Amino acid sequence: MSKTVIVWFRRDFRLNDHTALEKAISYCEENDARWMGLFQLDPHFTENIDLHHDYFFQTVAQFQDTCKKENLPFQIVYGDAIDVFEKVTDTLDVKAVFFNEDKAGYGARRDQDVCDWLKNKEIEFHSYQDYYLHDKQDVRKQDDSMYKVFTPYYKQWRTLKKPQVIQIDLKKVKKYAIEISDSLDSNKKFKNVLKQCERDWKAIGEKSANQRAKRFTKERLKDYDHHRDVPSIVGTSKLSPYLKTGTLSVRTLFHMIAEYDHKGGETFIQELAWRDFYGMVHAEFPEFRDCEFQTKYRGIPWNDDQEKLNKWKRGETGFPIVDAGMRQLNQEGWMHNRLRMITASFLTKDYLIDWRLGERYFEEKLIDYDESSNTGGWQWASSTGTDAVPYFRIFNPTTQAERFDPDGTYIRKYVKELKDVPNKAIHQPSKMSEEEQQDSHCMIGQDYPHPTVNHKEQRQKVLSVYKERT
């Protein structure tokens, strides 16, 4: 039996620009070893398959197909992480494990358990920073503490040299691959999981990710700064699901963008820095997902109204822009950034419902779900996080809609019952006269709900709740 090196794939399903894979191949070359790809199918993620996991598992299946076509070994083994490594090391002569690290959240805790176990078994392990352009050690204040405000963080982040794209020699990857066998009897469970994944996702996987990134850079990047806030047009990259699953490397993306010297490119790069920023905050503050970063906002008496929560989830709040955002999320597993801000603000400030419940709902649905960015976004919107929107700046859903979707194009796309409502009433359909309601085939209270809250009143309530703690 030849010496085996495991490349443990987790959210990095690609064969290019992949740190752990490149390092594993070098190791094989130096130590006359052979490598095998592994995916641990975690029971934690197979219990409830909603859009987020549907997309994720289909991405894994796509990667498995690519490996098959390229004759590369990639095994999917079901079980808790330690059980999986026990099984793998019982079957193969494993000398080392290579992976791209998770610095925060569930992944970081799992990694720590596996590393402790491997250490005990005297098996080498090598982990690498790969998911971000810069991690928490790279961008620090002079006294080595973390930045709590994005702007100075970004100033420093921008001056730092960015890591280069990692060239991978596919010939070598093939040369040092272990002979393919299904000794781990791995596929049965994954096939069952895939049967529950019903969505027909377009353009999944590494090849599509790179094509889309190139197309975006060529066709839309220039206008990104003007168009990124308009939900009715495709003005953003929609690359987040690829970055999340790692079918697109953030290094590759950064260097593609950096070739262009214009405002659009610069604004886009700043968004990639927000991604790093929230990753850094989460790594510094591991409780981030469950606990407000700002201590003064811990213990807010949130409203426990399940009916309202369900209305928000279904997109039946009676505020067209909020409902359109939630329905886009439910249909597509993706939502425009402006809408994420509006819907999150609505849940926390208009319904005064706990941001954690919103965060968990986004987790189920978002195909780009990322613990750090999602928590960062929710704590931003609920004014509880680091560098969050100040509590007294409360989004008015109607004026937000008038500003960012003036003629209601976006609203009509997702809230079909409002499609014939005239422009002047699209943001407040309940103000239509009965005749206008009849003309636009939309009877308020029957076809579309009355507003479920009074924004002005809620605004006062929420202001006093936050003010008390400031």
List residues binding ligand FAD (CB under 6 A): 228, 236-240, 243-244, 271-272, 274-275, 278, 337, 340-341, 344, 362, 366, 368-370, 373-374, 376-378, 381
What positions carry a catalytic annotation?
271, 274, 302, 337, 355, 378
User: Counting beta carbons within 10 angstroms of the beta carbon of residue 253, is it exposed (0 to 12), middle (13 to 18) or buried (19 or more)?
Assistant: buried
Q: Which is nearer to ligand FAD, 187 or 337 (CB)?
A: 337
- Complex with ligand FAD: residue 374 or 440, whichever CB lies closer: 374
- The least CB distance from residue 187 to ligand FAD, in Å, is 30
Cross-strand pairs, 96: 5, 124
SS (H, E, C) the chain: CCCEEEEECCCCCCCCCCHHHHHHHHHHHHHCCEEEEEEEECHHHCCCCCHHHHHHHHHHHHHHHHHHHCCCCEEEEECCHHHHHHHHHHHCCEEEEEEECCCCHHHHHHHHHHHHHHHHCCCEEEEECCCCCCCCCCCCCCCCCCCCCHHHHHHHHHHCCCCCCCCCCHHHHHHCECCCCCCCCCHHHHHHHHHCCCCCCCCCCHHHHHHHHHHHHHHCHHHHHHHCCCCCCCCCCCCHHHHHHCCCCHHHHHHHHHCCCCHHHHHHHHHHHHHHHHHHHHHHCCCCCCCCCCHHHCCCCCECCHHHHHHHHHCCCCCHHHHHHHHHHHHHCCCCHHHHHHHHHHHHHHCCECHHHHHHHHHHHCCCCCHHHHHHHHHHHCCCCCCCCCCCCCCCHHHHHHHHCCCCHHHHHHCHHHCCCCHHHCCCHHHCCHHHHHHCCCCECCCECCCCCCHHHHHHHHHHHHHCCC
Strands 94-100, 4-8: pairing is parallel
Shortest Cβ distance from residue 112 to ligand FAD (Å)? 23
Which one, 18 or 275, has the nearer CB to ligand FAD? 275
> What is the smallest separation between the CB atom of 123 and ligand FAD, expressed in angstroms?
33
In the complex, what is the shortest distance from the CB of residue 269 to ligand FAD, in angstroms, rounded to a whole number? 9
Q: Which is nearer to ligand FAD, 89 or 409 (CB)?
A: 409
For ligand FAD, give the closer residue by CB, 13 or 190: 13
CA distances from residue 304 to 301, 307, 343 in whole angstroms, order as listed:
9, 9, 17
Between 252 and 430, whose beta carbon lies closer to ligand FAD? 252
Closest separation in Å from C-beta 291 to ligand FAD: 17
User: Is 217 or 440 the residue whose CB approaches ligand FAD more closely?
Assistant: 217
Smallest distance from ligand FAD to CB 371, Å: 8
Residue nearest to ligand FAD (CB): 377
Identity of the residue, 274 or 414, whose beta carbon is nearer to ligand FAD in the bound complex: 274
Taking the complex as a whole, the smallest distance from the CB of residue 237 to ligand FAD amounts, in Å, to 3
In the complex, what is the shortest distance from the CB of residue 449 to ligand FAD, in angstroms, rounded to a whole number?
23
